[in-house]
Amino acid sequence: MMASFFDQFASPSYLGIPLIAIAIALPWVLYPTPSSRWINNRLITIQGWFINRFTNQLMLPLNVGGHKWALLLTSLMIFLITINMLGLLPYTFTPTTQLSLNMGFAVPLWLATVIIGMRNQPTVALGHLLPEGTPIPLIPVLIIIETISLFIRPLALGVRLTANLTAGHLLIQLIATAVFVLLPMMPTVAILTAIVLFLLTLLEVAVAMIQAYVFVLLLSLYLQENV
């Protein structure tokens, strides 16, 4: 029974061909294409308003040099939100429950922020490894600790996104299984459990959006330290 709960996180394949590429490419087909007309329909107008508001909020603490990342970070957040939301539909697969995919997003972007900091302001970037006013005996220990914390950042990004989505999907499946088991024996309890399942699903919708936002927000904070 426990193995079947984790089967939903296995990458699907058809005739030996992994379908995770289709699951990653599908969200881009769902976005409405922007129009060159002065008057757009409501969907494109809401989409443009949301993207503008999010980009302004994300780029607010960054200087002009960090604004070059606006397109990349905004596209990444919309992409992650769409994948996470589609993964809540029945009989679907959530690619962001795979740690390898999340690390593939986190490591290159984190490394890019570190390289930018080393290239533009190496003294400030290396200064983060040693807080000001540190006693001399603690300098070697603090440098090692700060270096480890620096290299843990991409791992924390990937694990946070994977763990939150995996835990939510597992909890939904466990409660849904309980509803089907309790329905013939205790219908009242099953109905109450189904209400809890509905509320949990609403919570998971919020978690899917919040985790995508947190992923991009932390990347922007790492970028802020290095530009």
pLDDT band (50, 70, 90) for residue 35: low
Residue 220 structure tokens: 């922007």
**What pLDDT was estimated at residue 1?**
46
CA distance 63 to 57: 13
pLDDT band (50, 70, 90) for residue 8: low
Mean pLDDT of 39-50: 77
pLDDT band (50, 70, 90) for residue 2: very low
Planar angle of CA 89, 83, 159, nearest 5 degrees: 110
In one letter, which amino acid is 134? Answer: T
**What pLDDT was estimated at residue 16?**
72
In order, the DSSP letters of 60-96 are: TTS-GGGGGGHHHHHHHHHHHHHHHHHTTSTT---GG
The neighbour count for residue 191, using CB atoms within 10 Å, is 13
The answer to whether residues 70 and 77 touch, using CB atoms and an 8 Å cutoff, is: no
CA distance 80 to 127: 33
Mean pLDDT of the chain: 84
For tokens 């990937």, what's the residue? 158
Query: Each residue of 91-100: b (16+ CB within 10 Å) or e?
Result: eebbbbbbbe
Q: Which residues pair with 17 in a beta bridge?
A: 14
The answer to whether residues 95 and 19 touch, using CB atoms and an 8 Å cutoff, is: no
Look at residue 213 and tell me whether its pLDDT is greater than 80.
Answer: yes
Kindly state the DSSP code that residue 13 receives in the 8-state scheme.
E
**What pLDDT was estimated at residue 161?**
92
Q: What is the pLDDT of residues 143-175, one digit of tens each?
A: 888 889 889 999 999 999 999 998 888 899 889
- Helices vs. strands in the chain: H and E counts, helices first: 8, 2
CA distance 54 to 137: 45
Kindly state the DSSP code that residue 60 receives in the 8-state scheme.
T
Look at residue 40 and tell me whether its pLDDT is greater than 80.
Answer: no
**What pLDDT was estimated at residue 6?**
64
In order, the DSSP letters of 200-224 are: HHHHHHHHHHHHHHHHHHHHHHHHH
Q: What is the pLDDT of residues 55-110, one digit of tens each?
A: 888 888 788 878 888 888 988 988 899 889 888 888 788 888 888 889 999 999 99
CA distance 118 to 224: 13
**What pLDDT was estimated at residue 212?**
92
The answer to whether residues 106 and 158 touch, using CB atoms and an 8 Å cutoff, is: yes
